[in-house]
Amino acid sequence: PESLEELKERASAVCGMPPGLLKFVKDNESLKSLEDITGDDMELMMMVDESPYYSWNIAGNPDGHFLTGSDTTVEFTDLQ
């Protein structure tokens, strides 16, 4: 592949996970680009980052009028 994005696309086609959730790790460091790869013989690890899978449904919560926030942050508002 010519880029990390292309590598993620190819891996996605094989494993069925969305490319945006895939991370490639070499020597315990997440790859930022294919330029981080050197040498002919190496070991890469592919990980699935599932953190985008969760979110808060504040509007759908029966007590949502007590909650504020977005993304991964939720705050309880004062009952008064």
**Alpha carbons 71 and 33: distance in angstroms, whole number:** 27
According to DSSP, the residues that pair with 67 across neighbouring strands are 76
To the question of pTM greater than 0.75 for the whole model, the response is no
Instruction: Give pLDDT tens digits for 26-35.
Output: 888 899 998 8
Going by C-alpha positions, the residue among 43, 46, 47, 66 that lies closest to residue 56 is: 66
According to DSSP, the residues that pair with 70 across neighbouring strands are 73
Instruction: Give pLDDT tens digits for 52-66.
Output: 777 778 888 898 889
Distances (CA, A) of 40 to 23, 37, 43: 20, 9, 10
